[in-house]
Structure 1
Amino acid sequence: MNGYLRAEISVSAIRHNIALIRQLLPPGVKLCPVVKANAYGHGIEQILPVMEEAADMVGVAICSEAERLRRLGWQRPVLMFTTAGASPVADLAELIVHDVILTLTTPEEVKLLAEASQKASRPAEVHVKIDSGMTRGGIRAEAAPELVAQARQAEFLRLTGLYTHFACAEGRDKTVTLAQHRRFMEAVEASGGPKGLILHAANSAATIDLPQTHLDMVRPGMALYGYQPAETLHKKLPLKPSLRLTAPIVLIKDVPAGAATGYCMTYRFERDARVALVPVGYGDGYFRCFSNAASMRLGGVDCPVRGRVSMDQTIIEITEVPDAQVGQHVEVISPDPAAPHSVANLAKLAGTIGYEIITRLGDRISRVAVD
């Protein structure tokens, strides 16, 4: 039994976006789409077929995401970004059995992987993550050579890659990102060079703006789903947003002038009006801050949200759509970047980034691949 909410995921849009990214890459550079957080909220099952057409590897954040990919039949490499030390030995052993590439960041994790490898009865494939300046995950660049040497020498490890992550690639000023790139490459050389290893660093923004960071593989995420990583990029690709979220009207009522609506009655109607109840709320990832601020589209008309967004329901005014009917679908999120209820414009309204809008879409939403 499906819920009320329906997210249409455009396979053709994702295919278009992948082609745009591919055109930026020199021959031989691998593509590693990032599919963590349920493919950025789009649904891993819905996007996996198109990834099979183009991806050399995919990236995930946690154990359950990697395991789910294998359960769905994905047979190509999977890289788990969260450092190996975050997982218990039993989980690591299971990941090793499933041929998931693990991220190595500390000498202590080498010992942990020795135990997991023994439990799995096979060596663990690893990529060492190097902190080139973001000061988040990864081993410090100056300490990387020792860890890489340990990984090369350990019989229970199979080192196949080195990588880093950029902090500010989406910014107009690329100074910090270029410094990170330089620091990473220096660490690679100090660690014995790149021979036999996959080097990777570029996220969506770097893939688009900084070709010198493409190295052996790129890891785009946001751009593949059709959203600009930032407005500050030097180059803007004609990406196609791939998600459209709709919900049916479940109730229509006429209200008199002076009536107030929603929790704490934060909106009062100045005229006689007609309202519709839409079964979407902050429990589904539709932010509470959209109260009295956002709009949804019905019959080509942008209908304002009235009152507070509730956990499961939102009220919109449909006075300008007199022929609206119960059961008619309202567009909650539009794939049109110019629409007031697009991912980008809802993010602006919320004072956040598009990443948060799409990744917070909940599991009560039925996701369907279209076209």
Structure 2
Amino acid sequence: MKRYLYIFIVILLASINIFGSPDTFQVVDKIPVGERTFHIDIYGNYATICNYSGTAKVVDYVNGDTVLYVDNGILSIPMAGYYINNYLYVIDNGDPSIKVINKWGSLSRKLKLYARPINMKYSNDKFYITTINPYGLYIIDKQKLKIDNFYKFPVRAPFISIIDDDIMVPMYENEKDDILKTYKLLFDLSKEDFIINLKRILFPIDIVKYNDYYYLGEYFEGGIFEFSDNYQKKIAQFGKNLTNIGIFNDMIVGNSHYGGLYFYSFKDKKIRHILKDIPIVDFAYNKSNDFLFAISHITGEFFVIDKNLKVYEKLKIGDYLIDIEVPTDNIILVLDTENKTLNIIRRF
């Protein structure tokens, strides 16, 4: 019955759009995902939601079906996972390892890790896994399920940026009591070396690229820095508690827990600030760059922002929205950790 209702809603809203109505965004499904869920991993048509209490769910976000649910004790504290060719590859922090689970929910293979995994990205047949105890980065060959390399870091560095097939890891917890714990700013895998922190950039958290330059945001201070190997310059200030940055229509965009979205234009070098009174925990945009989507963990609202940086639409969809992904131009996924649901939103 649920499947038929889902199809009916899709057809109804699509027919409204055919007759000339402007784009609209609607929640078409809410999928239970369990408690202690904090992020979504996307591969192909599948979204994986790891439950830190010991389960993992894989959802086909196109039709709303659950294709795999692992709750049989195989996983202890799963942190991230990707469903690839009918196998779920998931890192387990409680039992330090990467585990391969088949489509029937049984353990197929397991690779023991000697550091506790906390984050994972997948690119070009490799898994990139950041760790604690010790801090570092594993490179795992997917086909052979073997360790290609392990790079040790001086501080905790959980975040991974993939840019033009290159892997960069900011040295996140680099300051304590006004003293730098390391002078290394980030690890660049293409060079197998660190870039040095020339401008005392504190708590670097996210990296993007525009033309030939890289841009980095810092968490607590909210600074935006332009950098290359031997050059670093602060170009903008994005409030405080900045968690993500991106490139949206020739602008750097960033969100602030203190309130709003910030935009720095490469054309006129000016900053715009919208939704000033709304704490924003995360944002994402589609590949066409015609809409940007943001969520508030405080108000439970989902915002649609157009190219002119106007609020095109907003929906109250939950209580503690924590993560957003936009896998296609017409599908948005929002994770609500308070209500233990994955919201599937469609554009019509």
**Same fold, TM exceeding 0.5?**
no
Q: Of the two structures, which has the highest relative contact order with CA contacts closer than 8 Å and spacing of 6 or more?
A: 1
Q: Which has the higher strand share?
A: 2
Larger radius of gyration: 1
Question: Structure 2 length as normaliser, TM-score?
Answer: 0.30
Q: Which has the higher helix share?
A: 1
